[in-house]
């Protein structure tokens, strides 16, 4: 039997592409995409249903109405917006998560995916290959909510028999929806700016190396950990997940192989401090060992695919005008 899936925060960077993948796998009649706000449709995905995760009763009603047994809970506030508005980050990321866990438990949901982040790490974690069990002492409100969220998810897995599965995503690079206010957003903006203007002013330092991943790998990871048999998911906190690590200068150099005249300047802002508190790379050997995780894209493959897709879209838009 195909799962009946509800996605929260489905209009965001991950959700807007994840919904398309889920519809392809399970059929449009089994996927319910929800968000607090409606975004313009890209055409292929089902329409968004309005759902605010701060309204616990509404979440439970939506789960029951659609006979949902699987939830992908993506609604959240990301690191840079969260640092500018810590009360909002706490409210959405903690009270919102608890509402969704409570509603899912009481409505009899079997399985729930909730993404954690490299934001769980703080300055005292090893900078290179931060292990799964590194110290988790983040210095951002986003990180505080991700560490607390991981513990809350583990608690619900133990006490409420809700099978919560989670990964610590690195910064995600995607060609479809724009990123939602994180520290790693530069790695998406840089492509649009390179193609549209031939230049980019980066808000991180040229040597700010961070763990990153291309969206197709992230979507595969989310679906893979949700579909794998339960005995292979040993951890119900977030599994470290890695694909590539690079600095803005290394990314710019790879883009220049496709767009020779591209110029980058650097004007680090408050987001640099957040980047400085995170590791440069993380060790994902537990995810590889336990449920067979393997990324498919490295820096070269990701840049080539991103530029191909954005150029295709630019050509299609030019034809429409
Ligand atoms: P995003 O900001 O692009 O999307 C989040 C969505 O949540 C938005 O569409 C927003 O409208 C919605 N939302 C906010 N408040 C809401 C509320 N009260 N009720 C319902 N919806 C609400 O974020 P994303 O990049 O898609 O991230 C999804 C999840 O993945 C988050 O938990 C994030 O921390 C995690 N994550 C993302 C990345 C990344 O690089 N994108 C990396 C690590 C972890
Ligand atoms: C952010 O920068 O906030 C996110 C993340 C790494 O969690 N992209």
What pLDDT is attached to residue 45? 65
Range of 296's domain? 172-211+243-320
User: What is the total count of domains within the chain?
Assistant: 2
Q: Are residues 107 and 252 in the same domain?
A: no
- DSSP-assigned beta bridge partners for residue 263: 199
For residue 127, pLDDT over 80 is answered with yes
Average pLDDT over residues 77-103: 98
Q: Is the pLDDT of residue 259 over 90?
A: yes
The pLDDT of residue 135 is above 70: yes
pLDDT of residue 250: 98
- Domain match, 219 and 256 both: no
pLDDT-based confidence at residue 318 (cuts at 50, 70, 90): confident
Q: What is the pLDDT of residues 141-182, one digit of tens each?
A: 999 999 999 999 999 999 988 999 999 999 999 999 999 999
Residue 166 is predicted with a pLDDT of 98
Probe target for ligand 2 pocket from 14, 78, 114, 180, with the most ligand atoms within 8 Å of CB: 78
**Of 198, 225, 240, which marks where a domain is finished?**
240
Residue 243 and residue 217 in contact, taking contact as beta carbons nearer than 8 Å: yes
* Cα-to-centroid distance, 139 and ligand 2 (Å): 14
Ligand 1 mean position, distance from CA 56 (Å) = 18
With a cut of 90, say whether residue 319 has pLDDT above it.
Answer: no
Cα separation, 162 vs 140, in Å, equals 28
Note whether 219 and 206 are same-domain residues: no
* Contact (Cβ atoms closer than 8 angstroms) between residue 4 and residue 70: yes
Confidence at residue 173, expressed as pLDDT on a 0 to 100 scale = 98
The predicted structure's pLDDT at residue 38 = 86
- The percent of residues in the chain predicted with pLDDT above 90, rounded, is 93
Distance from Cα 76 to the centre of ligand 1, integer Å:
4
Whose Cα sits closest to atom 5 in ligand 2?
171
Give the model's pLDDT for residue 280. 98
Q: Is residue 161 domain-shared with residue 267, that is, in the same domain?
A: no
Look at residue 130 and tell me whether its pLDDT is greater than 80: yes
- Quick one: 153 and 78 in the same domain? yes
Nearby residues of 84 by Cβ (< 8 Å), 6 or more positions away: none
Regarding the beta carbon of 211 and ligand 1, being less than 6 Å apart is answered no
Which SS3 state, helix, strand or coil, does residue 285 take? helix
Read off the pLDDT of each residue in 291-307 and give the average, rounded to a whole number. 98
Average pLDDT score over residue span 186-215: 98
285 and 218 together in one domain: no
Q: What is the pLDDT of residue 290?
A: 98
Ligand 2 atom 8 nearest Cα: 171
Model pTM? 0.97
Report CA(185)–ligand 2 centroid distance (Å): 8
DSSP H or E run through 84: helix 79-84
pLDDT reported for residue 43:
59
142 is catalytic: yes
122/140 Cα distance (integer angstroms): 8
Confirm if 96 and 54 have CB atoms less than 8 A apart: yes
With H, G, I as helix, E, B as strand and everything else as coil, classify residue 43: coil
Spatial contact of 8 and 34, defined as CB atoms under 8 Å apart? yes
pLDDT, tens digit (0-9, with 9 covering 90-100), for 31-86: 999 999 987 766 556 789 999 999 999 999 999 999 999 999 999 999 999 999 99
Q: pLDDT by residue (tens digit) across 11-21?
A: 999 999 999 99
Angle at Cα 217 formed by Cα 216 and Cα 220, nearest 5°? 85
In this structure, the answer to whether residues 64 and 115 fall within a common structural domain is yes
Residue 69, pLDDT score: 98
Our mutation pick for probing the ligand 1 site, out of 75, 153, 179, 238, counting the most ligand atoms within 8 A of Cβ, is 75
Q: Are residues 192 and 309 in the same domain?
A: yes
Average of per-residue pLDDT values in the chain: 96
pLDDT at 44: 58
pLDDT surpasses 70 at 264:
yes
**Over pLDDT 70: what percentage of the chain?**
98
Question: Could you tell me the CATH number of the domain that includes residue 36?
Answer: 3.40.50.720
Q: Are residues 198 and 154 in the same domain?
A: no
Residue 70: the pLDDT is 98
Is any atom of ligand 2 closer than 6 Å to the C-beta of 118? yes
Nearest-5° angle of CA 152, CA 153, CA 154? 90
What is d(CA 296, CA 239) in angstroms, rounded to the nearest whole number?
18
CA distance 222 to 275: 24
122 shares a domain with 196: no
Which residues sit opposite 5 in a β-bridge? 31, 70
Domain end marker among 240, 258, 285: 240
Distance 222 CA to ligand 1 centre (A): 14
Residues 136 and 74 in one domain: yes
Give the ligand whose atoms come closest to the C-alpha of residue 55. 1
Which atom of ligand 1 lies closest to the CA of 180? 2
pLDDT band, residue 109 (cuts 50/70/90): very high
| Token couple for 263 | 């110029």
155 and 74 belong to one structural domain:
yes
Among protein residues, the one whose CA lies closest to atom 1 of ligand 2 = 182
């Amino acid at each position: 039997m195909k799962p009946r899936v509800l996605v929260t925060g489905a209009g965001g960077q991950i959700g807007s592409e994840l919904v398309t993948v889920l519809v392809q796998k399970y059929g449009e009649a089994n996927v319910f995409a929800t968000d607090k706000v409606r975004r313009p449709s890209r055409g292929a995905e089902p329409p968004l249903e309005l759902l605010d995760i701060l309204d616990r009763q509404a979440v439970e009603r939506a789960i029951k109405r659609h006979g949902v047994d699987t939830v992908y809970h993506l609604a959240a506030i990301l690191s840079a917006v969260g640092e500018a508005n810590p009360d909002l980050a706490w409210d959405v990321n903690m009270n919102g998560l608890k509402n969704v866990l409570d509603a899912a438990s009481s409505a009899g949901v079997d399985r729930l995916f909730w993404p954690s982040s490299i934001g769980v790490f703080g300055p005292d974690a090893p900078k290179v290959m931060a292990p799964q069990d590194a110290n988790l002492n983040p210095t951002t409100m986003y990180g505080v909510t991700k560490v607390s969220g991981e513990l809350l998810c583990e608690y619900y897995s133990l006490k409420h028999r809700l099978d919560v599965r989670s990964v610590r995503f690195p910064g995600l690079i995607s060609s479809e929806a724009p990123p939602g206010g994180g520290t790693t957003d530069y790695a998406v903006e840089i492509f649009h700016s390179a193609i549209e203007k031939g230049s980019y002013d980066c808000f991180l330092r040229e040597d700010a190396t961070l763990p990153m991943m291309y969206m197709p790998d992230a979507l595969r990871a989310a679906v893979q950990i949700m579909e794998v048999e339960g005995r292979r998911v040993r951890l119900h906190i977030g599994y470290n997940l890695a694909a590539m690590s690079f600095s803005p200068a290394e990314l710019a150099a790879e883009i220049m192989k496709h767009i020779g005249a591209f110029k980058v300047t650097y004007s680090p802002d408050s987001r640099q401090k957040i980047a400085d508190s995170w590791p440069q790379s993380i060790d994902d050997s537990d995810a590889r060992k336990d449920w067979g995780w393997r990324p498919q894209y490295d820096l070269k493959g990701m840049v080539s695919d991103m530029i191909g897709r954005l150029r295709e879209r630019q050509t299609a838009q030019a034809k429409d005008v």
